[in-house]
Every structure is written in structure tokens, then in C-alpha cells.
Amino acid sequence: MRNEAENTSKTLEDSLYPILSQFPNSLQIFNWEGEFISVTERFARSLEYSQKEMVGRSLFDLIHEDDRDQSVDALTDLRDRKTIINFEHRLKTKSGEDVWIMWLAIPLSESQIIIAIDRDITIQKDISFEFILQQQKYKSIFDNLPMGIAITDAKGKIVETNRTARQYFDIQDGEALNRTLNLRKYTLLQPNGSKMYPRNSSLMRALKQKEVIRNMELGLIKDAKVTWFEILATPIPLDNFGLAVAFVDITQRKQAEEKIAYMAFFDQLTNLPNRNSLIDKFFPIFEEARRHENWVGVLAIDIDNFKFINDSRGHEFGDKVVQLMAYRLRESVRSYDLISRQGGDEFTVVLPDLMNERDAGVVCESILDAMNHPFVIEGEQIFVNVSIGVALYPNDGKDSNSLLKNADSALNLAKQQGKSCYVFFTEELQTLVVQRLEIENQMRMALAKDQFTLFFQPKIDLQTYKPIGVEALIRWNHPERGMIPPDVFIPIAEETGMILSIGELVLKLAIQTLRLWREEGIEGISMAVNISTKQFKHEKLISIIAENLRLFRVDAKDLEVEITESSLMDNADAAVKTMKAIRELGATIAIDDFGTGYSSLGYLRRLPISCLKIDRSFVSEITIDKDSDTIVHAVANLAHNLGLSVVAEGAETKEQVERLIVDGIDSVQGFYFSKPLSGPDCIKFLKEKLGISD
């Protein structure tokens, strides 16, 4: 019997093993007692032995003692049931290291030979098994068996399967197989989606022509579902044997590929084409317009105040607004117009076959009219407005990038003009875009060349009419254009991120100025510095303030940090944490432009602030609008009840100041007392008002 086993082993070595070695496993051969008859060089080397040392050695001599009993049971079960099994255990290397091996053991009962395919799973045992599987070529390999395996006879009849293959093809354990590779029970699909007749399958051709098959994909329809397999097959050159076939379930991979392909060209929230898909469609649209001498409109559309919707109601609510917006757009444009979501609340609409500019305007009017009807979300009605920028092919650009960029420029102008409107791109707008880019470039140079300076607007106490503080205001002293006001460059600085560098510079100059004033004998005057939203959220804000206070030896109580209401909206908990850190330094905090945001006085009780600054829009109308006067009076009373002082901005007339005194305002800023002053002029002003002699 032993000679017969050795002869069979020799035959397997010469035939089956070289072919099966094409699979990502290796083939070892045991006799019935578990002794190695044949091993691969790779397997022997993995255990630090030579092939010669391994042959004749018992598998049980290498098994870790904790795994020996289960391994004995596994091989006993294999011999008794004479069926393919899989099991795993630790083997000891020559140096005593543990190596985890998973075996797929196939018994040949007549020869009392065990063909075992090994797989080193040491890494999988050390780290997340599922993560490792996802890194491998076949994502649907499970931990018990790597693939389905079927062995056929020379006529294609399946003579042996493993458990995974039986699950794939609904074969009961112990069932007498009477099936061939024709798989007549199932409908098969090719990767292109067409059906395939089993008798014409590549597997049958490989069987007849003794060919090797790699990376063949096949879909199997079962229970109205398609399971996709990647198939590897190789002829077995033994009498009465046909093919060894491995089936790897790649259904998840195929679904992922389909999803990735979908995600590459479609927005998942709205099911609209995304930017990639849109750009792909531009060229044929332009070619059609060129042939017929038509125009093409490109609309850049943005939801007005969408950030407030997200911040106040949550992103899930915002997503529903975006979905309804997509629906409204579909209903507002022509059936052949192309709608795309660019991301966030931004949409693009492409209008082919326009005869003139008015045709684009008609579509814009239709979109704006659709916004007159409220959105109903979670039983609540809300009104949503949009702004639209329009660029036209070929006048405003002859390629997708130019048209999209110019439509965005027109959209920005629509936002500046009050929103809820549409604006066409023009040469004048192009000039503004160029100027904006020029300002951005020059602003970077201005930072390096110290062209920024501070002006100071005094804050006057309404009881004593004496200055009690100033607000630092950034100015750009351009060598050619002169003094550039902040409303020109600050928005650009916000967009580009340069606001962080500018804000850091303002803090430094303001605190340095306090030191200069102390040396000039000016005491009791606080310095207010407005902190942008981005700077307020920056992790280095506290350390920058602390370092400058230390560097210029300034008492922190003389520094007042002004924060806008919008800075508090994104993450209230983080905002409170930052504000507490500022207070711990000794500085005070004021809420700037109060009344223009979305805070409430009840909410303000949580904040470690000391002052409210009422926005100038209320002050400018206080003597002519009763509602504005009522608001100012109410804010002052409630703020005082919370222990806060109140500053009014923009006081320009005597009547306004007198009204503010009646309303209980503590102090004011405005042209009535002083315009913003340069450093030297401010020192002169403060000394005169405070009675300090030079």
C-alpha cells in the first residue's frame, strides 16, 4: 500500500502539482498517517527546513501542542468521511516560531493520499482578518475557505466539490453528484450582460482543448439574483480527470465597481450628474451649437443663506433642501437642459440651442419663479431663494473651464447685488475678476513689505463724553493706489486664507500700540481688536494673544477681543471653550455687529462676554424708525440685566447720540465724535480729550 501511495505521489508531483501551482496557494502531499510525502520548496523554506528534511516528517511533529487534538480530529474526520475538509493550526518553524497555516485537504482514499493546499494566515491572525481580505484581489473570500473548488472527470462531470462550491450551486452535503460544467440548472451571464448557453461556455472548451483559464468572469442567475464569479481553471493530466476549477465570488467587487462608476459621474444625494459627467457632455453640446450657430447657456446656481440653514437646522435638513432644490430645477428647465450638482448647494444648468441672450433669461426667470413657492420639509414650510450667474457660449468662452469660471464670477456679482436674482457675465465683470486677482497677488506682497497699518476709532463714554477705548481698524497703504479700505481686501483675504496672517499682524500691532501709549502717558484706554471667524477657530489664537501680551508687557485687561455672532454658530461648545481661554488670559470679549446674526440674549448667558456692540444699521435709523429705536432700547435693558455693557456703532449726528443716551447706551463709536484716526492723530486726540500734556 505504501508503494502504491508513493507511486501515486510521484504521479501527482509530475502532473497535478505543477498545474495547481498556478493558484495562489501551494500543494503539499501527506500519506494517510500525516507524514509528508512531497512538499514544495516554498513551504519547506517557510518552516526553515529543506525539502529533504521535510519529506518523511510527520505533520504532528510540527503542530503546536495546543492545536494537536483538533488537527488529529480533522484528519480523522477526513479519513472516515473521505471528503474535502479545511482546518487551521500553528506549525513550529525550525527556530521555534509559530506560523499559522490554513489547509484545504482533499483525500484520495484509494491511494490513502491527502492532497493539501496550504495558505499562510499568520498575518490575518495578527491583525484584522477582514481588513487583510479587503486588500487582496478577491474581496469576497471568507475566513473558512478562500474559494469554491470543483474537480471534474474527463467528460466534464463534477466528481468533487468543496463546501463553498456546494453553497454556490445548491449541492447538499452527501448528495450524489450528477452534474457537469454545463450548469444547465442556471442561466449564465457574460460581463457585457448577454446570456450565455452553457454548452458554449469557455469551461467546456477548456475541457475539450485542455486549456488553462485565468480571470474569466461569469454571472450566475439564481433566485432572481446574479452572483458573479471569477473563474480559474486548469486541466488535470491524470487518467479520468478533467479540470480543476476555482470559483471566487466577486459579487461585492462588481457591485463596488458599479458603485464607483456611478459615484464618478453622479451625485448620490440628488442623482444628478456631477461635475465630471457635466464636463464630459460639454464638447458635443458645443459642437452642435457651432454647427447650427446657436448659443449655449451655462447657469451657476447657489442657494442663498444655505450655510445658515445648515447651521441652524442641521445637515440632514440641509440635505433635504438640496434634494428639493434639485426637483425644483428639473421642473423649471426644459426637458433637454442638463442639470448638474457641483457639490454643497451649488448647481450648474447647461442650456443648449439658445437663439439669444433672452432665451437664457427666460429659464432664469422660471427658476426664480419656482422659488416663490415654499419648500415643505418635516411638515414645515420654508422659503428658499437662489442666485444665478449666466455665461454664454461662444461670447463668454469656448471651453468648459472658461464658461464655468465666468458663470461663477457672474454668480458672485449676483450675491453682491442682493441675491435672489440673475446676472449675465460681461466684459466689465471680467475686468472686476482681473482686478480681484490683481488685489490678491498684491496683497501677498503687501504682507511681506509691511504695507498694512492700523487706524483707530475712539469709543466715547456717554456719561463723561471722554474716550474709554479705541477699535483697531486695518488699512492697506498701497504705494500706488493709496489707502485701500478693508471692504475691498478683507473679503478676498477671507476667501484665500490670508486673513489668518492679517489677523495675526493686527493683534501684534494693536498690542504694540498699547505699549507705545503707556509710554506716552495714556492710561485707562482699552484696545478692541476684531477677530475673523477663521482666526477665532484657529488653534494658535490663544498662544498668539498670550505671546504678544508677554512680548510688549501689556496688561491683558486693556485688550478687548471682538467676535461676530456668526463665529459662534458653527460649533457653540468649541466657541465657548475658546472664549473662556481668552478670559483666562485676562482680556475681555465683546460681541460685534449684534442684531445682524442669529443669537439670542438668552443664549448669551452661556457666553463669557462683557460687552455687546449694536450694529450701525440700527443706529442709523434710530431717530426715524420707531422699531429700530425699540430694538436698541430693549437690547440695552436686557444686556444690562445680564451685567453687560452696550456700545453703539455708527453714531453720526447729535440727535442719534441724544437718542442713544435716552435708550441707555453706555458708549458709542462714530463720526460724530471722531472718524478713524492714524496712530499719531489718535495719540493727539486721546491726549486732548484726557487732558494729558506732551
- pLDDT, one tens digit per residue, over 314-365 is 888 888 998 999 998 988 888 888 888 888 889 999 999 888 888 888 898 8
3-class state of residue 191 by DSSP: coil
What integer pLDDT is reported at residue 145 of this predicted model?
A: 54
Is residue 224's pLDDT more than 50?
yes
Residue 204 confidence class, pLDDT cut points 50, 70, 90 = low
Between 126-140, 341-355, 489-503, the lowest mean confidence (pLDDT) is in: 126-140
Q: Among the ranges 43-47, 167-171, 546-550, 563-567, which has the highest mean pLDDT value?
A: 546-550
What integer pLDDT is reported at residue 652 of this predicted model?
A: 92
CATH number of 440-690: 3.20.20.450
**DSSP E strands: which ranges in 485-587?**
526-531, 559-564
Residue 298 pairs with which residues in a beta bridge?
350, 391
- Other beta carbons less than 10 A from residue 102's beta carbon: 20
3.40.920.10, 3.40.1010.10, 3.30.450.20, 3.40.50.300: CATH of 145-256: 3.30.450.20
Q: Find the helix packing angle between 400-416 and 427-448, rounded to 10°.
A: 80
Q: Where in the chain is the domain with CATH 3.30.450.20?
A: 1-126, 145-256
Q: Among the ranges 31-35, 164-168, 445-449, 581-585, which has the highest mean pLDDT value?
A: 581-585
Cα dihedral value 251, 255, 256, 261, nearest 10: 140
Residue 658 confidence class, pLDDT cut points 50, 70, 90 = very high
In the chain, the percentage of residues whose pLDDT exceeds 70 is: 85
Closest alpha carbon to 250 in 223, 232, 233, 224: 232
What integer pLDDT is reported at residue 143 of this predicted model?
A: 31
Q: Where in the chain is the domain with CATH 3.30.70.270?
A: 265-425
Determine the average pLDDT of the residues in 477-487.
87
For residue 106, count CB atoms less than 10 angstroms from its CB and return exposed for 0-12, middle for 13-18, buried for 19 or more: buried
Question: Residue 608: in which H helix or E strand, if any?
Answer: none
What integer pLDDT is reported at residue 139 of this predicted model?
A: 31
On the CB side of 474, CA atoms within 13 Å amount to 27
**DSSP E strands: which ranges in 615-689?**
645-649, 667-669
Q: Give whole-number Cα distances, 131 to 139, 164, 253, 630, in Å.
A: 10, 21, 15, 64
Between 19-28, 128-137, 636-645, 680-689, the lowest mean confidence (pLDDT) is in: 128-137
Residue 459 confidence class, pLDDT cut points 50, 70, 90 = very high
Tally of helices (H runs) and strands (E runs) in the chain: 27, 28
Q: Give whole-number Cα distances, 253 to 100, 138, 141, 258, 337, in Å.
A: 27, 8, 11, 9, 34
Between 53-67, 162-176, 420-434, 452-466, the lowest mean confidence (pLDDT) is in: 162-176
CA 400 to CA 388: how far, in whole Å?
A: 17
What integer pLDDT is reported at residue 557 of this predicted model?
A: 95
CA 308 to CA 604: how far, in whole Å?
A: 19
On the CB side of 350, CA atoms within 13 Å amount to 26
What integer pLDDT is reported at residue 180 of this predicted model?
A: 66
CA 252 to CA 132: how far, in whole Å?
A: 16
CA 242 to CA 146: how far, in whole Å?
A: 22
Q: Give whole-number Cα distances, 106 to 82, 115, 124, 660, in Å.
A: 8, 5, 23, 95
The one-letter code for the residue type at 176 is A
> H helices within 552-625, ranges in order?
572-585, 601-604, 616-619
8 Å CB contact between 261 and 320 = no
Determine the average pLDDT of the residues in 23-38.
79
> Is the whole-model pTM more than 0.85?
no
Stronger pLDDT, 31 or 281, i.e. the higher one? 31
CA 552 to CA 223: how far, in whole Å?
A: 79
DSSP-derived letter for residue 157 is B
Across the chain, what does the average pLDDT equal? 82
Is residue 400's pLDDT more than 90?
no
Is residue 678's pLDDT more than 90?
yes
CA 158 to CA 140: how far, in whole Å?
A: 23
Is residue 217's pLDDT more than 90?
no
Residue 308 confidence class, pLDDT cut points 50, 70, 90 = confident
CA 101 to CA 141: how far, in whole Å?
A: 16
Is residue 137's pLDDT more than 70?
no
Q: Is the peptide bond before 394 cis (omega within 30 degrees of 0)?
A: yes
In this structure, are strands 588-594 and 611-614 parallel, antiparallel, or unpaired?
parallel
Is residue 694's pLDDT more than 70?
no
Closest alpha carbon to 455 in 300, 678, 260, 258: 678
3-class state of residue 251 by DSSP: helix
8 Å CB contact between 398 and 295 = no
Closest alpha carbon to 453 in 674, 677, 683, 686: 677
Q: Which residues contact 469 (CB under 8 A, 6 or more apart)?
A: 458, 459, 525, 526, 527, 528, 560, 667
Yes or no: domain 265-425 corresponds to CATH 3.30.70.270: yes
3-class state of residue 661 by DSSP: helix
The one-letter code for the residue type at 86 is N
Greatest Cα pair distance in the chain: 121
CA 476 to CA 451: how far, in whole Å?
A: 6
What integer pLDDT is reported at residue 659 of this predicted model?
A: 93
What integer pLDDT is reported at residue 488 of this predicted model?
A: 84
Is residue 428's pLDDT more than 60?
yes
Q: Which CATH architecture has domain 1-126?
A: 2-Layer Sandwich (3.30)
Q: Give whole-number Cα distances, 116 to 1, 59, 103, 620, 640, in Å.
A: 20, 12, 6, 90, 85
What integer pLDDT is reported at residue 179 of this predicted model?
A: 67
Stronger pLDDT, 71 or 277, i.e. the higher one? 71
What integer pLDDT is reported at residue 138 of this predicted model?
A: 35
Residue 691 confidence class, pLDDT cut points 50, 70, 90 = confident
Closest alpha carbon to 508 in 485, 469, 467, 540: 540
In this structure, are strands 187-189 and 148-153 parallel, antiparallel, or unpaired?
unpaired
Residue 1 confidence class, pLDDT cut points 50, 70, 90 = very low
Residue 452 confidence class, pLDDT cut points 50, 70, 90 = very high
